[in-house]
Structure 1
Amino acid sequence: MRTTILLFLLSLTFNMLSSQEIQKNRVIILTDIEADPDDTQSLVRLLLYSNEIDIEGIVATTSCWMTDKINPQSITKIIKAYEKVQPNLLKHRADYPKAEKLYALVKQGLPKYGMKGVGEGMDSEGSDWIIKTLEKDDERPLWISTWGGVNTLAQSLYKIEKTKSKKEAKRLISKLRVYTISDQDDSGIWIRNNFPDLFYIVTPGDDYGSATWTGINSYIKGIDNTTISNAWLAKHIQQGHGPLGAAYPDVSWGVEGDTPAFLSLIPNGLNNAEHPEWGGWGGRYKLYKPDFSSTRKGGSIVKIEPETRPIWTNAIDNYIRFIPKEYGRSVKKDTAVFKGYKETLWRWRDDFQHDFAARMDWCEMSFEEANHAPIPILSHPEQITVKAEETFTLDAFESTDPDGDSLSFLWFNYPEAGTYKKPINVNGVENAHMAHITAPKVDKEETAHFILKITDKGMPQLSAYKRVIVTIKPN
């Protein structure tokens, strides 16, 4: 009895600490499920984070790979698997939704391709649901996480423009945030051209090799790619993890190509969905009008057209890893520099894969048996102001772990996320709970982002973060 009570209190404390001051992101999923097994893979992962994200709808849609068919029954099938493990998930976090709530969120778009399904008389259950959700008394942004074609959203926008006043239409559209996995029908460019103020993240066109999101499943030379291997997926996700793991299909094209469309909605201390330029699990993006006219066509029926407005799209990171060291200081900087847009995403890949594996363990294991992410706690605000050439200290001494695991600390500057683009090194050691840093000399006010990554020594090893934004004022 004492053990049961202790575990309950640990779980309760974990839930309270993890949810402090965190506003969940709202999302509606548009999925061409069954066009590729990766939609099903991504849905399995999404449901394991349904306690962290407010899922407002899951809409079956078409795409360039499945132009005249939708498969809502395939969504329902995965929710049924979730229903069987949800009682055990509640042992780990108390806010996993009941399956009944999720069943009610499954909606249908039209079984029509792209702009053939947009216009007068083209309303669908899915397009009307987007509008209804936007009209709810909820001031939080509504994310549209698009895994296939986007014509269901295009029809919602068409109807809003036709039936609402200009003021009301502007208000509703201002609440929308869109992340599209490339262009998988011809309605994406129509949306961007006709709604120039709409918040839109995409690598335009159908050349997937040019897309940031492919960092989730690209084989990267010079690093260990184990966590996207078929053997790793079989061991940590598919087999021995209950009905939800068993529902995770083998890779056919690329593992979980749709998952980046919601990864940055997960509140982990690093992600900030409203600031794609800051970087996070879903990648980093800049707001500009890109020219992808020189990229090769990816082989779909999507017509590639020039962009007419700024969008959130590919950004470049210069990434230098910290790697384990066998003796002495436990980490050291790698000698290799990785540069590119996929780097903004795969740099976090092992972290989010381990987190996924741990949550899959939650489907079967007790709280005591499983691992849970550490809880980083700063001894100062997450935004501080210093003067140029001043030395300041960042500290996470009070950080804790819900399982009592030993913790490893790592502090590093993320130059691309701030306005000051030159790297700022930590003085002395980067892997203690306390980091001493000297602000650079600046001629104007600048910002610099410092990331704290805390990793436990449980199995699998789990990481959590804090982002400290330092404003540097000139002397």
Structure 2
Amino acid sequence: MKLMFIAMVGLLTGDKIAYADSAPERTTYKPRVINTTDLGADPDDEQSLVRQLVCANEFDIEGLIVSTGCWKKRQSSTVMLDRIVDAYGEALPNLRVHAEGFPSVEHLRSISVLGQMGYGMSDVGEGKDSPGSDLIIASVDKDDPRPVWVGCWGGANTVAQAIWKVQHTRSADELSAFLSKICIFDILGQDDAGAWIAKNFPKVLYIRATGVYGWQPSDEYLDEHIQNHGPLGAVYPDRKWSTEGDTPAFMHVYPNGLNDPTKIDQGGWGGRFSLTKKTSIKSMSAVKEEERAYDPYMMSSNTSEGSEAIKRWSNGYDNDFAARMDWSVTGDYSEANHHPVAVVNGDATRRIIKASAASGSSVSLQAEGSSDPDGDSLTYSWTFYQEPSSYNGFVTIENSDSPSATITVPADAAGKDLHVILELHDNGAPNLYAYRRVILQIR
């Protein structure tokens, strides 16, 4: 599958590096996202929806599906969802002053539907189709090469019903094509349907995130920056257990320059995940023994860093949320802060940059041309991100706090790759961040 936001570009080095055949496009990649949410089980789903809607311009949101899970085994309406979407509609005129691409409230209402109203695999099969499962099928069937990311904030049985329907009504090749476009981000495993999918359709990119706690902002932050901000702040409830446990599902695909979400080991706002699937990624305790019928099944899950892989970016995502809530309450562009644009070696997109370099060489990375729409000054930081890199030694970066940095490629790095992150922020209030990842493939 070709992803539009990855480019090979030439870099300035001590020896010659081949450039790509053509310059990268100046477009911004938007991931396609569908949420299934067990609204009413825990206030954290409502919280996560508010955060997602104030950054809705960054995604193509194709489904908001009310579904069930082990803590909410029956659903009957979209009333809770409709209330949050209505609040978004009130804030939308202000949001559109500050950024392009926010979807209309009419679009969000049209994709706000019920999924499976019963629990787990007991509500999957013949005659079990739902508006939610039909929506998933229609979305995946679109003539669009981008994958569809289904976030399972509760159980996974609505996407399981969609897969079941396609399996039983289409050819093997058609089923394979359908499955190749689905990526699933499952929060903690909240029914047995995820195990059924992983067992029977192992080629589906299936992440079960377990490191979803420990990164969250404080109650004081929420009081100051979120809950007192207009109609969307009013529908952001106090936490009952943990804040925004479902947010990593869409933060993983947030197109901010940090990661390609299909390369799940790269790491970004939603965490970092192992390329090695495991058989021991079990559901929440309330699912009990239901999954055992599908043992063994294999899934990808968090690396050993757990939620620390999210928390390392806390200034970026906390300030992003606070600034966007500011947008939601003012129609004056000058009264809020806006994101800077990070440019690396002339590439102003958010795509991952890949290039080849020789061991022992020097690589010059230039952020000249980076800018801020408000005219704020910029602070630069270039770092070697060791965890996703295959090279495990020390890497020297000269002038790491300037627009122009030089990477000294270790002499023993041949055959390895180095992940270098540019993180820059403005001096506005709150500081807003932009990122670029450069992957140096060493020969």
TM-score normalised by length of structure 1: 0.83
1:414 match: 385
Aligned residues: 411
Q: What are the superposed Cα offsets for residues 68-101 of structure 1, whole Å, 9 maximum, x if unpaired?
A: 2244111110010011110111111122111011
Q: What are the superposed Cα offsets for residues 380-423 of structure 1, whole Å, 9 maximum, x if unpaired?
A: 56322221111221110211101111110000011222222324
For 2:313 and 2:265, locate their aligned partners in 1 and report how far apart those are by CA, in whole Å: 16
**C-alpha displacement at 1:288, in angstroms?**
1.8
Helix, strand or coil for the counterpart of 1:184?
Answer: coil
For 1:147 and 1:167, locate their aligned partners in 2 and report how far apart those are by CA, in whole Å: 30
Match of 2:126 among 120, 123, 126: 120
Q: Indicate the larger mover: 346-355 or 307-316.
A: 307-316
2:430 match: 460
1:368 match: 334
1:390 match: 361
2:227 match: 238
Distance 1:443 1:97, change over 3 A: closer
2:218 match: 229
1:8 match: none
Match of 2:307 among 333, 342, 345: 342
For 2:277 and 2:261, locate their aligned partners in 1 and report how far apart those are by CA, in whole Å: 20
Helix, strand or coil for the counterpart of 2:441?
Answer: strand
Amino acid in the other structure paired with 2:307: K
1:248 match: 236
Q: What are the superposed Cα offsets for residues 233-255 of structure 1, whole Å, 9 maximum, x if unpaired?
A: 0110011x211111110011111
Instruction: Work out whether residues 33 and 71 of structure 1, in 8 Å CA contact, stay in contact via their aligned partners in 2.
Output: no
2:280 match: 292
Measured on the aligned residues, the alpha-carbon RMSD in Å equals 1.8
1:212 match: 211
Q: Indicate the larger mover: 19-28 or 267-276.
A: 19-28
Match of 2:419 among 449, 462, 465: 449
Amino acid in the other structure paired with 2:211: T
1:152 match: 158
Distance 1:401 1:307, change over 3 A: farther
Q: What are the superposed Cα offsets for residues 309-336 of structure 1, whole Å, 9 maximum, x if unpaired?
A: 54321213xxxxxxxxxxxxxxxxxxxx
**C-alpha displacement at 1:465, in angstroms?**
0.4
Q: Indicate the larger mover: 437-446 or 390-399.
A: 437-446
For 1:396 and 1:276, locate their aligned partners in 2 and report how far apart those are by CA, in whole Å: 26
Instruction: Work out whether residues 289 and 308 of structure 1, in 8 Å CA contact, stay in contact via their aligned partners in 2.
Output: no
Match of 1:170 among 167, 176, 180: 176
**C-alpha displacement at 1:272, in angstroms?**
1.6
Match of 1:352 among 308, 317, 321: 317
Match of 2:402 among 432, 437, 440: 432
Instruction: Work out whether residues 184 and 302 of structure 1, in 8 Å CA contact, stay in contact via their aligned partners in 2.
Output: no
Instruction: Work out whether residues 279 and 297 of structure 2, in 8 Å CA contact, stay in contact via their aligned partners in 1.
Output: no
Amino acid in the other structure paired with 2:224: K
Q: What are the superposed Cα offsets for residues 12-48 of structure 1, whole Å, 9 maximum, x if unpaired?
A: xxxxxxx932221101110001110000001111111
Q: Which runs of 5+ in 1 are unaligned?
A: 1-18, 204-210, 218-227, 317-339
Mapping 1:22-421, distance limit 5 Å: 22-203=28-209, 211-217=210-216, 228-239=217-228, 241-292=229-280, 299-303=285-289, 305=292, 308=296, 310-316=298-304, 340-365=305-330, 366-379=332-345, 382-421=353-392
Distance 1:174 1:399, change over 3 A: same
1:224 match: none
Distance 1:159 1:196, change over 3 A: same
Helix, strand or coil for the counterpart of 1:51?
Answer: helix
| Superposition misfits of 4+ residues, deviation over 3 angstroms | 304-310
Distance 1:298 1:24, change over 3 A: closer
Amino acid in the other structure paired with 1:347: R
Amino acid in the other structure paired with 2:88: Y
For 2:207 and 2:108, locate their aligned partners in 1 and report how far apart those are by CA, in whole Å: 26
**C-alpha displacement at 1:291, in angstroms?**
4.7
**C-alpha displacement at 1:424, in angstroms?**
1.5
Instruction: Work out whether residues 37 and 249 of structure 1, in 8 Å CA contact, stay in contact via their aligned partners in 2.
Output: yes
> RCO (CA 8 Å, sep 6+): is it higher in 1 or 2?
2
Q: Percent identity?
A: 40
Q: Which runs of 5+ in 2 are unaligned?
A: 1-24, 348-352
Q: What are the superposed Cα offsets for residues 44-65 of structure 1, whole Å, 9 maximum, x if unpaired?
A: 1111121110000111001000
For 1:45 and 1:368, locate their aligned partners in 2 and report how far apart those are by CA, in whole Å: 22
Instruction: Work out whether residues 150 and 185 of structure 1, in 8 Å CA contact, stay in contact via their aligned partners in 2.
Output: yes
Instruction: Work out whether residues 62 and 70 of structure 1, in 8 Å CA contact, stay in contact via their aligned partners in 2.
Output: no
Helix, strand or coil for the counterpart of 2:364?
Answer: strand
Pair 1:470-2:437 in alignment: no
